[in-house]
Amino acid sequence: MQPKLFDPQTAELTLTIACTDYALRAVISPFLAVLKQRAPKIKVAILAINEQNLQSQLEQGIVDFGLVTPDFSAPDIHSKDLYQEQYVCALRKDHPVAQQGSISLEQFCRLEQALVSYQGGSFSGATDKALAKLGLTRNVTVSVQNFIVMPEFLTNSDLLAVVPKRLVENLANIHYFEPPLQIDGFTKTLVWHERTHRDPAYRWLRELMAEVC
């Protein structure tokens, strides 16, 4: 039996991806820009990710790809690490601190800050764990549940935020720089089910996403 041929230019299918709002900006947006050039007839549906349901969604074909961190694992699930992300300090371009080029740890702790809490309501995250090892705390006064709104918050205030670099690196109105302490980054990983593992269309789509990242 001849293997099924896949031609990106003529292929018609719907790809469903589950991801966070951060991955929507960092991965999906550049992926779609290239996909529409190379495979113009492929449709893409983006779902808000719920890792508790992701395994069953992949098994049932509700979701084709998930964008997760590497600690996600399940039977019959394949994975590929796409990139390693780092955290940066971000604030508006004309913020007084933006003219300094760098920031002291003391000033960092003193500045009013915002953070993202996916569970909602928390004023502590990875940065605070790193500070706690040094016996320090910072001044977090705003907590939001998603990343997408953060650049707008920063643009319209004197707030500073520690965010993934890919969230802000192409925004003209945001200045970013390395934090004054070591903050562990994370790996963004693509996962998919055994049912699509050997399908040439989905293999091509996985390779394209890895290429874009």
Strands 77-85 and 186-193: antiparallel
Indicate the helix (H) or strand (E) that contains 22. helix 21-23
Residue with tokens 């966070």: 20
pLDDT at 102: 82
Q: How many residues does the chain have?
A: 213
b/e sequence 183-207, b meaning 16+ C-beta within 10 Å: beeeebbbbbbeebeebebbebbbe
Complete DSSP assignment for 105-170: HHHHHHSEEEEE-SSSS----HHHHHHHTTT---EEEEEES-STTHHHHHHTSS-EEEEEHHHHTT
pLDDT at 62: 97
Q: How far apart are CA 32 and CA 27, in angstroms?
A: 9
pLDDT at 70: 83
In tens digits, the chain (213 residues) has pLDDT values of: 445 688 999 999 999 999 999 999 999 999 999 999 999 999 999 999 998 999 999 999 999 999 998 888 888 999 999 999 999 999 999 999 998 878 999 999 999 999 999 888 899 999 999 999 999 999 999 999 999 899 999 999 999 999 999 999 989 999 999 999 999 999 999 999 999 999 999 999 999 999 999
pLDDT at 72: 84
pLDDT at 1: 46
- Cβ contacts of residue 170 below 8 Å, gap of 6+? none
CA distances from 31 to 1, 22, 61, 119, 180 (A): 33, 14, 21, 27, 32
Phi, psi (degrees; rounded to nearest 5) at 75 = -60, 140
Q: How far apart are CA 207 and CA 111, in angstroms?
A: 42
